[in-house]
Structure 1
């Protein structure tokens, strides 16, 4: 088999074009046969001739044959033919695609047998195409002079279709983006000619999908009716196609010329589709204007069966609850004040100001100061945080408008709201739930397929912020909801006894803290349920605590192993420090006076620093070792993970940190006492002594802080919320 690179000239006489398919295919087929590559094009299911050879690695051999055959076909194609198979990864598909597109063209107009060129033998065949074929060839090549000449002879060619592909000349010119030819063809066409579909698409749909605004404007200026013609395969109008492809210059133009009635619910899902996708890509101006002009779109489903309200429940990033910020970023976020009614204009102003500062070439003192401020803002990410808050404010403004519409809706329209509520609960968008329930309080009684209400589902998904909204209900309603059961007779406390979703557990460091969080959830839900509900049995005859124990057996084992491994490692470090510092207390720097037994450097201040830090390190390491031994000898009951074990770990890690820090201070002071006259070497060594402390803070301090906050912090549940009125 040939493996060296070859040129198209050694394979075929002429690369493939729309006139030479028959000869080209004969040349190429014979070449592929000679190179033993024709099997890759045929792609038969027959076993290979050399079974023993391919048995060793059949997939590799076939992939290699396919790649070589595909390469041979590609280099034998002209530009137009290659464009059809550029993305193909199969030699067979490439061969078949070229045959479907060029075989008929090569036969027309003179080589096609009369008996086959009939509508009965070729269902997609247009009898007038024979005389129009040169016209289509001229359109493909982008030659307007030739196109015009042939169009003058055959005016009806503008509405003729090519067999098999069913493409018109306008469709072909739009696909190939021959702007000049499209403009001229449109002038020759009637308005209804622009409505002709090829493969279910109008030429305007193709132009909108490609984002060619020049062609779009040309067609729309001829006919406004084509704006409302949807594609047959996915029911998309041109404006939706441009929106899905994110060609926003085209979208804004089409929106400006599309009659409002074409976007109304009674005309189809197109207006709702435009709102949904605009929200999804944060183009709130279009979405907000459409909702204000036609409120019913809020609960109208788009071509994919999703309403704008439902779409909002899919996007946590549009809400503050779906954005994670560091503490200093959160402080900046809280300091930024934006009025909802000015959010849209503020978005544009902030971008314009940023661009203006970036392009200002002034070298004045004021200009330099502005540049420094601008760079500082960029460094801190303030502009990004501000734009983020603008998006959040605008989203909440749209949501409030949706809630207004929802309060005046009923029946089937509200079914989509019910689905949106549980979708928002699953994603933890508590702002969505808060506003919807405040607008329509009766929705708190709705339930999903398992007959779990929104708060039970929030417990199942471990969305603490959504669950906290239950405290906005009055006590009577809260108690009633808390004691409802689902289809398996699981109450709210049973659901709390189930294991958290893995995605939520993975956000918590260590199995011990994960177990602690599970216990916190169970204890929290327990406070709002009736005493009898705490002993109620579900369909499996299990009480809530039994459900908790059954579902958390493995997590308890993982938590025990994590605690013991951490304690063992830290015990070794603490014992090592204890040994070193105990020995250092009796081998003081400079030694002792042989006659009096008093340390020689006792009168020096640094010596007292050494003694005190040595003692602190010794006592701290001893305490840490005792704490870690207490962890190793614990019983590891479920409730121990709530406070007992975390407290021991907090004390152990804290005292271990102090012992390491004090040990470094003792070492540095002793070193300075002994060789204080050689500061050029003492100071760098003392600086290096801070490295262990820094490493401990970097690796262990975040865990220590997380454990402390989780155990003694304010908790993840906020009961001090204002009740709904």
Structure 2
């Protein structure tokens, strides 16, 4: 239940999270309305008068009761309209404002952590009682730790050694938690030195150990190292169902995650009973693009590729959900693509050397000796050369291309390893391990490299359908993933895929007739070009499906063309508005130029000879520049006006957005640009003719100023012109010669 605008007392109605602020505002309102005494009073409310005994006293009692009832109703109404649905249901049947207020307080008011018991099967301190007195007693100690006052902290510990394991916050955190949050390394070292190994396993009320706090807040590896040296068991304590290493990746701390992974015992990640922990770590590492960790862990236990994590999704699904880790998900300019193709990275070195580094850290952690092998030496030489190459690339400002390609190479190595694992799975296992789900997720996201690798490993997956009986190409059309749809041209089962029908009777052409998802539409500028792209999709799919599908009706008795018209009705209207708006604006500009340049042709610079009518400066070379530029400007502006008028008077049928309207817009914009440019040339030529003899110094300033409007128009409209040209006459997004099995 919420209040209206006239009755609004609080900005947000009462819920489980905002009682403190809510109660302050309602209390202030009741005070202002002189209603708080009804809620605050401890006296019994007056009783209604006895109507059988009419006297002066009964009249007074009745008046008191009516006054109380009115104020009580006003206060209760104010409280009710400030309650959300859950809160109102608690007091729906209560008629006393005082009781309603007290009921809401008991239900929603946050309670101090008095006598709060925490139970943990992993910590010897399984029961912890927290009281407000403890917090008041330890408040100076908390302030010293929070502010990083090492001397004051030591003094408190010296007076009370047990304070190092005391819970000094209402969230049940110890001094080590607080110091880890703020990154006070010296205090952390002091506390760890004074604490026992079991003390480092203490959790706050949210289940976070001090190591988990360090892994998620400031991500200080030195702080983590200090704790791990004291007690390695804290590496295997779950926090929100994750190990600290996975938690660090989850919170976006790649370096901390890599460190914690190297010191976490492998048995806690790769043994069958710990598979969910290993899978969770791999998934989080993949999302952080730490593919070296994922690859190295999969090398120890390939089965983890299809083992569900704590969220029920395996690492192969996580990789399918990350198209940005592949080349198809990266947008590069043509020169960047050329440099990218020229960069060579040895796939073996891209992964193996980093994994050797991870193993070396792990060996050092357990104080084991490291023997340099010839393979290590060769890798060392490679990385020395790579260091020089990276410095050179950084000088050129293109190091990001090298880093991008390194990620792509690492991802491919990881992908091949995962796909190889799926070869041994049968249909039931693939369903249980979300291999099918990963395939369809990759289709939806346009992760074509993932799809190709998975189809190479299991070619029968091309026949897989989702719960709506849609194959991967039908979904690619539905989600407008052209790079995935193009794969159909390289399959022997192309005809079978093109004739598929889903549960609702839709064929491929119906999929093309449905409106594209907004993320795909928003990648295209303007509703008109969006409509054009949708038509291109429909025409492309129409060219590969059998003839019977064109008139085939779905369960709604609609043909593909009818589905297209229904779903694109609003987009067509928006495209018409966009076209007309652009054409109207440009028509005004073009008509103005036509008027100016037509008048300029008959008022030539310097005027005409009164006897012969011949222009005075007819023999000057610059006069011919003026005449030619004026003529070109007049003709091109007239052409642009006619093109824009053609747009304004178009019928705006669906087919018009494919070629007709874009062509008119291109001609109109290009001729308008030429008319503006030649108009400026005519203007400059006129000034030079008139002022050249005495004021030649004005030539360069005039030219510079005249170039401003031309440049502005080019900057604003040229990108649109280029986009329309390539969208209409370019190579397009469809490629029938794509190679996938090389």
2:696 aligned residue: 679
2:30 aligned residue: 48
Does 2:671 align with 1:663? Answer: no
CA distance change for structure 1 residues 660 and 197 in 2, over 3 Å: closer, same or farther? Answer: closer
1:81 aligned residue: none
CA distance in 1, matches of 2:280, 2:383: 24
Equivalent residues in 2 for 1:286-305 (5 A)?
Answer: 286-305=293-312
Counterpart among 592, 609, 622 of residue 606 in structure 1: 622
Pairwise CA distance, 1:541: 0.5
Do the aligned residues in 2 keep the contact of 1:125 with 1:164 (CA within 8 Å)? Answer: no
2:267 aligned residue: 261
Do the aligned residues in 1 keep the contact of 2:192 with 2:230 (CA within 8 Å)? Answer: no
1:72-102, Cα deviation, whole Å (9 max, x unpaired)? xxxxxxxxxxxxxxxxxxx9999967x436x
Does 2:723 align with 1:716? Answer: no
1:463 aligned residue: 481
CA distance in 1, matches of 2:596, 2:175: 90
Do the aligned residues in 2 keep the contact of 1:613 with 1:666 (CA within 8 Å)? Answer: yes
1:406-443, Cα deviation, whole Å (9 max, x unpaired)? 22233334541211122222222222222222221111
CA distance in 2, matches of 1:162, 1:619: 83
CA distance change for structure 1 residues 134 and 181 in 2, over 3 Å: closer, same or farther? Answer: farther
Pairwise CA distance, 1:689: 1.4
SS of the residue corresponding to residue 591 of structure 1 reads coil
1:441 aligned residue: 459
1:691 aligned residue: 708
CA distance in 1, matches of 2:179, 2:601: 91
SS of the residue corresponding to residue 495 of structure 2 reads helix
CA distance in 2, matches of 1:239, 1:207: 11
Pairwise CA distance, 1:625: 2.1
Pairwise CA distance, 1:212: 5.7
Does 2:238 align with 1:230? Answer: yes
CA distance change for structure 1 residues 522 and 44 in 2, over 3 Å: closer, same or farther? Answer: closer
Does 2:597 align with 1:590? Answer: no
1:241-275, Cα deviation, whole Å (9 max, x unpaired)? 33334555554444333332211143241111221
2:88 aligned residue: none
CA distance in 1, matches of 2:593, 2:699: 22
1:365 aligned residue: none
CA distance in 2, matches of 1:291, 1:421: 20
Counterpart among 442, 455, 461 of residue 424 in structure 1: 442
Does 2:518 align with 1:502? Answer: yes
Pairwise CA distance, 1:576: 2.2
2:635 aligned residue: 619
- 5+ residue gaps in structure 1? 1-37, 63-90, 105-122, 358-369
Do the aligned residues in 2 keep the contact of 1:167 with 1:198 (CA within 8 Å)? Answer: yes
Pairwise CA distance, 1:208: 4.8
Equivalent residues in 2 for 1:28-47 (5 A)?
Answer: none
Greater mean alpha carbon deviation, residues 245-254 or residues 389-398: 245-254
CA distance change for structure 1 residues 481 and 349 in 2, over 3 Å: closer, same or farther? Answer: farther
2:330 aligned residue: 323
2:722 aligned residue: 705
1:662-682, Cα deviation, whole Å (9 max, x unpaired)? 222222112211111212223
Does 2:106 align with 1:100? Answer: no
Do the aligned residues in 2 keep the contact of 1:138 with 1:144 (CA within 8 Å)? Answer: no
Do the aligned residues in 1 keep the contact of 2:443 with 2:484 (CA within 8 Å)? Answer: yes
* Cα-Cα RMSD: 4.2
Pairwise CA distance, 1:584: 2.1
SS of the residue corresponding to residue 337 of structure 1 reads coil
- Number of residue-to-residue matches in the alignment: 605
SS of the residue corresponding to residue 345 of structure 2 reads coil
CA distance change for structure 1 residues 619 and 226 in 2, over 3 Å: closer, same or farther? Answer: closer
1:685-707, Cα deviation, whole Å (9 max, x unpaired)? 22211122112211111111111
1:285-319, Cα deviation, whole Å (9 max, x unpaired)? 21221112211111112222222111112223212
Do the aligned residues in 1 keep the contact of 2:176 with 2:192 (CA within 8 Å)? Answer: no
Pairwise CA distance, 1:137: 10
CA distance in 1, matches of 2:400, 2:309: 31
SS of the residue corresponding to residue 615 of structure 2 reads coil
Does 2:315 align with 1:308? Answer: yes
1:487 aligned residue: 503
TM-score (norm 2): 0.72
Do the aligned residues in 2 keep the contact of 1:136 with 1:169 (CA within 8 Å)? Answer: no
CA distance change for structure 1 residues 138 and 94 in 2, over 3 Å: closer, same or farther? Answer: farther
CA distance change for structure 1 residues 175 and 694 in 2, over 3 Å: closer, same or farther? Answer: closer
1:26 aligned residue: none
CA distance in 1, matches of 2:485, 2:269: 38
Do the aligned residues in 2 keep the contact of 1:424 with 1:432 (CA within 8 Å)? Answer: yes
CA distance change for structure 1 residues 498 and 258 in 2, over 3 Å: closer, same or farther? Answer: same
SS of the residue corresponding to residue 528 of structure 1 reads coil
Pairwise CA distance, 1:150: 7.1
CA distance in 1, matches of 2:199, 2:616: 108
CA distance change for structure 1 residues 606 and 286 in 2, over 3 Å: closer, same or farther? Answer: same
Do the aligned residues in 1 keep the contact of 2:666 with 2:725 (CA within 8 Å)? Answer: yes
Pairwise CA distance, 1:557: 2.0
Does 2:289 align with 1:282? Answer: yes
Counterpart among 309, 314, 339 of residue 332 in structure 1: 339
Do the aligned residues in 2 keep the contact of 1:620 with 1:655 (CA within 8 Å)? Answer: yes
SS of the residue corresponding to residue 593 of structure 1 reads coil
SS of the residue corresponding to residue 476 of structure 2 reads helix
Equivalent residues in 2 for 1:540-579 (5 A)?
Answer: 540-579=556-595
TM-score (norm 1): 0.73
